[in-house]
Structure 1
Amino acid sequence: MSDLSAGFSEPPRRTKVPKFGWFAIIGVPLIAILFQVYVPRFFTYLAYLEMPLLVTVYYSLRRRSPPFGVMFGMCIGLAQDSLSNHPLGMFGIAKTLVGYFAASVSQRFEGSSALLRLVLAFFFFFFHQFFYWVLSRALLGEAVSFEPVQTLVLAVLNAAVAVPLFRILDKLDVTD
């Protein structure tokens, strides 16, 4: 039995769970949602940024708790739905899954590596867009187009924004 488990390593232990102040938990997601709604009206070239998604990925990775990731993703998604012209619940479902999977990944890997954050931001952007497309077709019956090449390019751009954004958000950690 020990021969079978010799090739597997133990998952990293939870050394500390970061604590964030109220501004970090409520204010940052609110700013991200307002950024998503209002900034593209003035600067159309920033419409590709999915700030609420990046904030969901960040907090889910840092807290390392799938229930927290589910609730956080759900709240951000529903708030984003309520301020957009999309049907209520579409972003909520997609971001709930992103929050859950990001928190689950963070239980296995240490989420403070810049390379891991880059890869995860890329993956979760693509996953979010693909799953939103699937939901639109399956639940709403809409013929929404999905451009894989364009989505990959936008995923790279969001991942490039995610790394410095995550560094800035790391400064809001009040755990000592």
Structure 2
Amino acid sequence: MTEFTDRIAEAPVKSPIARFRPIVFLLTPLAAILFQVYIPRLVEQLGYLDLPLLVTVYFALMRRSPIIGLFLGAGIGLVQDSLSHQPLGMFGIVKTLVGYFCATVSQRFAVENSAIRFILAFFFCFFHQLMYWILLRALLGQPGDFDPRRELIVGLLNAAVALPFFRLLDKLRDRG
């Protein structure tokens, strides 16, 4: 490997950890979950938008702690499970994995960069759907509907929405 790639592989990013007021940390996921549950009933096309996943990705990336990402993903996923018709625990397991891996990745990359945020939002949206499909088949023995082309498009849609959404959430950070 070259000197440049050695530095990338070895040096974790020393960016500051974002701080949020507790009310922001609680109300943002709740608002995203309520959006996910009720808005697609009014506008069916918004059912492809997964705001609870984007909130999980954002807070896990910005807090940079795998433990916080893990608990945040589990909490958001379980609340989402309890408000949906899906089996309890499916979103909890998948979002736990997403939260943990997002926080782990954030320790290596400068996640304030818009291009990195877009790529990570796309990747974790696709990863979320793939893991959900795998768990549906493995744990419940149900045939799942996984169309890679559709999931790539949905991932791109969610990543495109993630950029302005993450900018909005950046404004809610505690600057003090």
> Which TM-score tier does this pair reach, normalised by the shorter chain?
over 0.9
2:157 aligned with 1:134: no
Q: Determine helix, strand or coil for the equivalent of 1:53.
A: helix
User: Counterpart in 2 of 1:154?
Assistant: 154
Deviations 1:57-110 (CA, angstroms, capped at 9, x unpaired) = 000000000001000000000000000000000000000000011001100001
TM-score, normalised with respect to structure 2: 0.94
CA distance in 2, matches of 1:81, 1:61: 23
CA distance in 1, matches of 2:2, 2:39: 54
CA distance in 2, matches of 1:167, 1:12: 24
Deviation at 1:136, TM superposition (A): 0.2
Deviation at 1:13, TM superposition (A): 4.2
Aligned pairs (5 A) from 1:17-166: 17-166=17-166
Letter of the aligned partner of 1:96 in structure 2? Answer: T
Tell whether the 8 Å contact from 1:111 to 1:117 is kept in structure 2 after alignment: yes
User: Counterpart in 2 of 1:8?
Assistant: 6
User: Counterpart in 2 of 1:172?
Assistant: 172
Deviation at 1:175, TM superposition (A): 2.9
Structure 2 vs 1, CA of residues 23 and 144 (structure 1 numbering), >3 Å: closer, same or farther?
same
CA distance in 2, matches of 1:125, 1:86: 18
CA distance in 2, matches of 1:78, 1:129: 16
Letter of the aligned partner of 2:64 in structure 1? Answer: R
Tell whether the 8 Å contact from 1:76 to 1:95 is kept in structure 2 after alignment: yes
Identity over the aligned pairs, expressed in percent? 53
Structure 1 portions without partners, runs of 5+: none
Tell whether the 8 Å contact from 1:136 to 1:142 is kept in structure 2 after alignment: yes
Tell whether the 8 Å contact from 2:15 to 2:110 is kept in structure 1 after alignment: no
Tell whether the 8 Å contact from 2:95 to 2:128 is kept in structure 1 after alignment: yes
Runs of 4+, deviation exceeding 6 Å: 3-6
Name the count of aligned residue pairs. Answer: 174
CA distance in 2, matches of 1:109, 1:34: 31
Tell whether the 8 Å contact from 1:12 to 1:110 is kept in structure 2 after alignment: no
CA distance in 1, matches of 2:99, 2:76: 10
